[in-house]
Amino acid sequence: MSKCVNCIAFFDDDIKGTVSFHQCDKSSKVIVIFNLFGFKPNMTHAIHIHEFGDMSNGCMSLGKHFNLHNDEHGSLFIKNGKSHTGDLINNLHTDNKGYFKYSYTDPRLNIIGDISKSIIGRSVVIHEGIDDLGLGSNAESKITGNAGGRMTCAVIGHAKNGKL
């Protein structure tokens, strides 16, 4: 019998809310739920999972995009999954009140199993700019998607069972 695991990244700065992750066995896709607010209305921002949960220098000490397979930056939605493990949905688009609510399942992420492949203890970073999905004309596009500076961030940790 499988035990489901829930994780959460909690934002409590100018941007508030959560990014929640849920997985019931190591072969299942991870359900990702975004519930964020405090943005300017009708804006787009890049959002990714980064390598580390080290907040010793704020968002700057979180490393690069989480990238298990050394892939180029891309998008799950346009390159058949060939992208960084942590590219998530690449961009969030806020509504006319500055909210972003969305959920999807991600086949690249893992919570259960090998800890070196897990997202637990890593971080979610919201960037100032828009992710170009690795389609830009410069080298940085294939690394970061030209996502811009780090606007806010949160560490992914275990959540109480049942809490999403």
Catalytically active residues, by annotation? 48, 50, 65, 73, 84, 87, 127, 150
Query: 22: helix, coil or strand?
Result: strand
Place of tokens 């490393």: 63
Q: What is the rounded distance in angstroms from the CA atom of residue 76 to the CA atom of residue 107?
A: 9
Q: Which residues contact 67 (CB under 8 A, 6 or more apart)?
A: 51, 84, 85, 86
Taking residue 44's Cβ as centre, other Cβ atoms within 10 Å add up to 15
